[in-house]
Amino acid sequence: MPYALTIPVHYAVETPLDAGLHRGLHAILLGALHQADEQLSATVHEMRLKPFTQALLPAEAGDGWVWRITLLDESLYEPLCQGLTEAKPGQLQKRPFHADLPAMTVIYTSYQALDQPPTAERYHVQFLTPTAFKQRTYTEPIPNPYLCFQSWWTRWNEFAPKDAAMNVAVLDIVKAHMVVSHFRLHSVIFRDANRWLVGGVGRVTFQVLQPKRVSSEWWQAAATLAAYAPYCGTGHKTTQGMGQTAVSPL
């Protein structure tokens, strides 16, 4: 059962575009898990694909910041909340940091519910934080349907129930029948010590071409992955502030 937690935080910072800040948040999250369940924390730490994403985002009211955490495994929810509740106000990059747990909002769903969304011929995708895709020898900062759906498919097959595993052929369908029809993107630099991580922020629309030439089951699979995206994030370094995603089927 995936969860999305939005936690108001008391933290004075002008911009969250600092990879070091998000590594600190990553450490706070793992520290909270360790506080509540040392074995669970060790297991998560050793996983190749982590069952969570996190990032510092502007509050919707435009005043302050929220810490958005998504969990792809429901077993993490109670230990994380326990660990964060027990944690004392501390510091993040030498500034006071406090998560306001009583004001936290929580959204959750089931993998079964995500597996039954309505199909769509267009998907409006918004990248809330810098998004990029690790390739063999470089990092690609410009999203396209194949890279996005590949990212979502990988996490779905890692964390969804095994009986809901999705055939990789859905990615061939996406590659052949889905294109970018509109975009408004700009590059953003995520500062990380002596290197810069470049990612795309903004909006893009993916359009399905000739949908009736393909069995509806494949568009159902694509719709499932798009519904999963706000929980699993997009691209790489989603545990360290990148790839926060919102999707609206049109």
Tokens describing residue 239: 């545990």
**Band of residue 96 on the pLDDT scale cut at 50, 70, 90:** confident
What pLDDT is attached to residue 50? 96
**Band of residue 64 on the pLDDT scale cut at 50, 70, 90:** confident
Residue 52 has pLDDT above 90, yes or no: yes
How far lies 69's CA from each of 58, 192, 232, in Å?
A: 14, 21, 10
Which of 241, 228, 230 shows the shortest CA–CA distance to 188? 241
Tokens describing residue 123: 């998907």
Three-state DSSP string of the chain:
CCEEEEEEEEECCCCCCEHHHHHHHHHHHHHHHHHHCHHHHHHHHHCCCCCEEEEEEECCCCCCEEEEEEECCHHHHHHHHHHHHHCCCEEECCEEEEECHHHCEEEECCHHHHCCCCCCCEEEEEEEEEECEECCCCEECCCCHHHHHHHHHHHHHHHCCHHHCCCCHHHHHHHHHEEEEEEEEEEEEEEECCEEEEEEEEEEEEEECCHHHCCHHHHHHHHHHHHHHHHHCCCCCHHHCCCCEEEEEC
Give this prediction's pTM: 0.94
Number of Cβ atoms within 10 Å of the Cβ of 143? 26
Q: Higher confidence at residue 152 or residue 61?
A: 152
Residue 193 has pLDDT above 70, yes or no: no
What pLDDT is attached to residue 6? 96
Residue 92 has pLDDT above 90, yes or no: no
CATH architecture entry for 3-108: 2-Layer Sandwich (3.30)
| Domain range list for the chain | 3-108, 111-249
Mean pLDDT of 209-224: 94
Same fold, 3-108 and 111-249: yes
Mean pLDDT of 209-232: 95
Residue 74 has pLDDT above 70, yes or no: yes
Residue 14 has pLDDT above 80, yes or no: no
* 8 Å CB contact between 143 and 234: yes
Q: Render pLDDT for 113-145 as a digit per residue (tens, 0 to 9).
A: 998 888 999 999 999 999 999 988 888 999 999
Mean pLDDT of 208-227: 94
What pLDDT is attached to residue 95? 79
* 8 Å CB contact between 197 and 237: yes
Which of 3, 25, 240 shows the shortest CA–CA distance to 110? 3
Number of Cβ atoms within 10 Å of the Cβ of 75? 14
Strand partners, 57: 66
- Indicate the average pLDDT of the chain: 92
Residue 66 has pLDDT above 90, yes or no: yes
State which amino acid sits at residue 65. Answer: W
**Band of residue 227 on the pLDDT scale cut at 50, 70, 90:** very high
Mean pLDDT of 206-217: 93
**Strand 195-208 versus strand 122-131 pairing type:** antiparallel
As a CATH number, domain 111-249 is 3.30.70.1900
What pLDDT is attached to residue 103? 93
